[in-house]
Amino acid sequence: MDFTLPREIEDIRLRTRAFIEEHVLPLEADYPFEETSLFFETGFPKLHFVEHEYSHDWTNWWVPNRACTEAMLRSAGFAIDKRIEEEVYLCRKSERPYAKYGPAAVYPARSPA
């Protein structure tokens, strides 16, 4: 899966609800650098990289677990209203964490039209 959002999709995110595909471990906001055991917990957010193909599709490079999907949605500025099915979420626009530091996505500069 490619999680890069084109500008058109980001604009839609700001205006609409979204349907997004995908045991969640309750996490603290921060951990000391030495704390690594939580990375091996079943419910820790994980994003698996697929080198070749997954489900006969060479574009399926990334496979998130449920905790990772939910964390990415929150980080992108969505609030999860409901899990409709195992891998389908109903979301709405929400505050984006760390928004005070500026835009989350970086786009190349456009030349003057």
pLDDT value for 41 = 84
Task: For residue range 49-90, list pLDDT tens digits in order.
Answer: 999 998 899 988 898 999 999 999 998 889 999 998 888 999
Give the per-residue pLDDT at 81. Answer: 95
pLDDT value for 79: 94
- Per the CB < 8 A criterion, the answer to whether 20 and 78 are in contact is yes
Per-residue model confidence (pLDDT) at position 1:
47
pLDDT for the residue 22? 42
Does position 26 have pLDDT exceeding 50, yes or no?
yes
Note if the pTM is more than 0.75.
no
DSSP string, 44-113: S--EEE-SS-BTTBTT--EEE-HHHHHHHHHHTTEEEEEEEETTEEEEEE-PPTTGGG--SS--PPPPP-
Q: What is the model's pLDDT at position 25?
A: 77
Per the listing, tokens 């999860």 go with 80
Number of neighbouring beta carbons within 10 Å of residue 34: 6
More confident of the two residues 11 and 73: 73
